[in-house]
Structure 1
Amino acid sequence: MAKKTVVIGLAGPTLDARGGKDRWQRWRPTVSIGQHDDLLVDRFELLCQEKYQWLGEQLASDFKQVSPDTEVNIHLAKFPKPWDFGAVYAELLDFAKHYPFDPENEDYLVHITTGTHVIQICLFLLVESRIIPARLLQTSCPERRDIAGKYDIIDLDLSKYDQLAERFTLERKEAHHFLKAGIDTRNAAYNRMIEEITRVCERSKDPILLTGPSGVGKTRLARLIYEWKKKNGQVSGAFVELNCATLRGDAAMSALFGHKKGAYTGASENRAGLLAAADGGLLFLDEVGELGADEQAMLLRAIEEKRFYPMGSDTESTSDFQLICGTNRDLKKMIREGKFRQDLLARINLWTFRLMGLKDRPEDIEPNLMVELENASRKLGKLVRMNKEAKEEFLRYASDSESAWTSNFRDLSGVATRMAVLSDSGRITTDLVESEFRRLRDSWKEDAGDGNADRDLVEEVLGDEAVSRLDLFDIPQLALVIRVCRHSKTMSEAGRTLFAESFKKRKSTNDSDRLRKYLAGFGLSWKQVTETEAG
């Protein structure tokens, strides 16, 4: 049995009321719907402002003349101000909520040619959100004598438009590739995170919080987000960045919010400040956890109200900027310690993404290394190459459990630059790779001397409270186990690596069970250890 066709439309006091006695010689959008032989309407739900009830009744009568089989129902609507978006949307939403839609047996068309622009927009939104399960019906006046004019039916399910869907897919892929700086990264968790960031960049101007250890590329990603938004016309101002760890006291307040001449000792000239400089653009505050209490309070107000007072000024300044914050600190722990405002964190962490360290992305070392060598080639003005043996040697060292990559991509950039400079005729050899990793590992051992890297890793998995109850010698051992697990595809592979020496002394063993029991002693599972938080 064919579905019934139901049209929902509004009596238009301008176009529909034209003509008086001569109305049959004029095009009227509502009546024209019934004048098309190929558009058979079973029911017309005609919305009509109370003061134009006479028009609704006339349209209902005229519609019955051109389409006798159509049932026309008049619904009186209260639009005291048809240009008041809130009032109009509320009235139309109330109609939609109480209307007995039956999409299994009826097809609905919403006529959007009549009414004010506000009414048309509200109808569009109700259809787009599927509150009204319909397609749009648009009518247009005739070019010649055909009084019925033309009509178009528009389906807002864009997935049905193959060309549009393909275009959106290509644009999404382009954005995804752009935010990865053109690097074909292979880590699945990282790629999923970038995909989500892509969607957020397209749809939101709310603050973004980038977390993760030092050197993972928070500043670079913030700049790429800005460049993508500017390319697509979402921002027009500048990219402004500040490392909050470099400033304290009056210098921090002045840098962020500006100052008036004489606001403090040394303030010899007016200064606009970085918030003002970021108006219309993007402000990136790295190490946001280093801000003092006063700066945090003023920043919160500036985010919420886009207004702030420069130091020494009794006149407010305004700035409409998007904010991205970066930190390698545990801000929730800082809140418990009274060092960071809970309301500020609540405002900046609507979108939080944790960037993984290089140690947790071993499959991405090779593509990033190739990009770094290309950069080094451009800087040095010579082609730098790495033969197959040297690359294999590099990746073997890079993925080894002894390679800490404590400064993450800064380490990788540094090693690529040094190898490029030291290479004879631009050829990186295995000897050069081995020499560089000896230097790196000595540096990493110095970095790990205070145990901070191990403790941070174990806290990431267990939480700081549980770590505080561990014996000191347990922390580096557990950190090593976590690193090996994260670089192994299976628990069996991790067990073989960890217990390689003891395996030689036994004819048979179950290393994965031994590892499982070790982790269980800390209340951990394989899944908890190997899954890396991505946002």
Structure 2
Amino acid sequence: MVQANTVIGILGSRLDHQGLGKRRHSRWRPTVGILMHPEFPVDEFVLIHHAEEAELAGITLRDMRGLSPQTRFSAYVVDYANPWDFGEVYSQLHDFTRQYRFDPEQNNYYVHITTGTHVAQICLFLLTEANYIPGKLLQTSPSQEGVQGTYQIIDLDLSRYDQIASRFEHEAQEGIAYLKSGIETRNPAFNALIAQLEQVSIRSAAPILLTGPTGAGKSRLAKRIFELKKQRGQVSGKLVETNCATLRGDNAMSALFGHVKGAFTGALTNRTGLLREADKGLLFLDEIGELGLDEQAMLLRAIEDKVFTPFGSDKETSSDFQLIAGTNRDLFWQVREGKFREDLLARINLWTYELPGLRNRLEDLEPNIEYELQQFTRKVGHKVSFNKTAREQYLAFTYSPEAIWRANFRDLNSSITRMATLASGGRITEELVVGEIGRLRYDWGSFKEEARAISADSLLREVLTEEVLAEIDHFDKVQLAEVIRVCRTSKSLAEAGRTLFNVSRTQRASNNDSHRLRVYLQKYGLTFADLA
């Protein structure tokens, strides 16, 4: 089916005038000239004009009807007081897009941007670029060949332009690499997460929630997001960050929202507060699950309305910030326990990204080891590296079940830093690796022994009755006891699920470890809250 062509244009008070006598027919008039191209038939023409230009609009439309009797013509009148007032012009042209019934399935739309004031042209461009007008731009210009002039069609779908699309793809890859600190990560799930986060960081100012175990890299990623947004001109303010676990009582209110002098004992001067400091920038609240309910309520209002009231004040203040929240807790479980506001979780849960721990990203161990060595080299000013045997020895241990990486990338950073500091001549030797492995075994061993200290039967008797225990096979008791141990050493249901299903989760299209673990526990009438 051939689609009809509809042109939307603004009357040009100078270019479309060209004298009101017969001479106008011998001169190029942009609006009229559009109809003089047989290869570009116009089925409908919408002419936008100011109320004060009714006479010129009538003459122009009459001439256009004479040139193209088959075209349907209509006029749309605007009446802004100042044609150079961007807000007023945009508002009235936006009203046109809401009143006009567009049908992209049946029509091709072309927006003529040659006539009208520069302000009007810019407004039409923006309305088309934002898809309020679902069409393409039409640019005309005079020529020596005749009064019809020439025309050019500009498609704002940049994906159609290979060179531009290639540039955008290159910029996206640069952004992704920047968010990963230049580390050539290999974990498919993590790479997909970062690829989407790069798009969200640039296109959205909505809250972002980063979840995952301690040491998974939430804080570092938040800083990278800020720097990327700053590079792309998305923020002009600064990055303000705090760990909510350090905020308690009056100090929490004061630190976040500021206070006035005399608000409480010790408040000797006014305090701005972190939210106000983050104006036009980014606020990173790590461990947001540690905030009190009162602070959560005020934070919700500040996110939604960009206003809040400093502690002890009766006057509101404003701050236009973007929030990134971090947590290693299961906030949904905290909502059920009454420890976290459901409305706040709904507000910050628009873009949620769960960062996997190092044990779930073992294929990324080697590139992260290289990254840590590079960072140490930059810091001390001389190159540090493994010798071949030492590297193989260290990698064999890091991939083994012994290496639990309890603190995730913090453990790895500490490990590399220790060896690099002791490396004489910048070479990490087998001797240093043996010593480091011994230290890691000792550090992690205390956690393993603590988890194994309680026998299976005594552990199960803490949560199950003797009647229930009598009905469970020894095989199931051993399995259930280990599940309970993992739950007790995990900070959330999700973290326990990731640990227990660390292999099978990588073979599934979607990972709902929490649900799998919840169903398993329900077989025995248990919940994670009972065990935690």
TM-score above 0.5, yes or no: yes
CA distance in 1, matches of 2:417, 2:10: 72
**Matched position secondary structure for 2:425:** coil
Change (3 A) 1:178 1:246: same
**Matched position secondary structure for 2:138:** strand
Size of the aligned set, in residue pairs, is 472
Change (3 A) 1:450 1:311: farther
Higher deviation after alignment, 156-165 or 249-258: 156-165
Change (3 A) 1:481 1:232: closer
Higher deviation after alignment, 384-393 or 39-48: 39-48
**Matched position secondary structure for 1:367:** helix
Q: Partner residue of 2:463? A: none
Q: CA deviation at 1:262?
A: 1.4
Higher deviation after alignment, 49-58 or 341-350: 49-58
Give CA-to-partner distance per residue, 1:475-520, whole Å, 9 cap, x none.
34899997586358999xxxxxxxxxxxxxxxxxxxxxxxxxx99x
CA contact (8 A) 1:309 1:315 kept: yes
Q: CA deviation at 1:166?
A: 1.1
Q: CA deviation at 1:305?
A: 1.3
CA contact (8 A) 1:210 1:325 kept: yes
Q: Where does 1:366-445 land on structure 2 (aligned, <5 Å)?
A: 366-445=366-445
Q: Where does 1:30-429 land on structure 2 (aligned, <5 Å)?
A: 30-36=31-37, 39-48=39-48, 56-65=57-66, 67-68=67-68, 71-77=70-76, 79=78, 83=88, 85=90, 88-97=93-102, 99=103, 101-102=105-106, 108-114=109-115, 124=125, 127-128=128-129, 134-140=135-141, 147-429=147-429
Higher deviation after alignment, 50-59 or 309-318: 50-59
**Matched position secondary structure for 1:366:** helix
Q: In structure 2, what residue type is equivalent to 1:195?
A: A
CA distance in 2, matches of 1:221, 1:19: 64
CA contact (8 A) 2:48 2:78 kept: no
Give CA-to-partner distance per residue, 1:441-491, whole Å, 9 cap, x none.
221132345549xxxxxxxxxxxxxxxxx9444434899997586358999
Q: In structure 2, what residue type is equivalent to 1:59?
A: T
CA contact (8 A) 1:96 1:132 kept: no
CA distance in 1, matches of 2:176, 2:282: 19
CA contact (8 A) 1:92 1:122 kept: no
Computed over aligned residues only, the root mean square deviation of the Cα atoms, in angstroms, reads 3.5
For structure 2, the 5+ residue unaligned runs are 453-478, 491-495, 508-515, 523-532
Change (3 A) 1:102 1:188: same
Q: In structure 2, what residue type is equivalent to 1:475?
A: I
CA contact (8 A) 1:112 1:137 kept: yes
Q: CA deviation at 1:267?
A: 1.1
Higher deviation after alignment, 441-450 or 419-428: 441-450
For structure 1, the 5+ residue unaligned runs are 453-469, 492-517, 525-535
Give CA-to-partner distance per residue, 1:84-126, whole Å, 9 cap, x none.
65564354344334x58536xxx55332334577875675566
Give CA-to-partner distance per residue, 1:331-370, whole Å, 9 cap, x none.
1111111111111111112111111100100011111111
Q: CA deviation at 1:170?
A: 0.7
CA distance in 2, matches of 1:473, 1:419: 34
CA contact (8 A) 1:8 1:110 kept: yes
CA contact (8 A) 1:6 1:108 kept: yes
Q: Does 2:510 match 1:486?
A: no
TM-score by length of 2: 0.79
Q: Percent identity?
A: 49
Higher deviation after alignment, 479-488 or 252-261: 479-488
Q: Where does 1:472-483 land on structure 2 (aligned, <5 Å)?
A: 472-476=481-485
Q: Partner residue of 1:459? A: none
**Matched position secondary structure for 2:71:** strand
CA contact (8 A) 1:57 1:74 kept: no
CA contact (8 A) 1:179 1:224 kept: yes
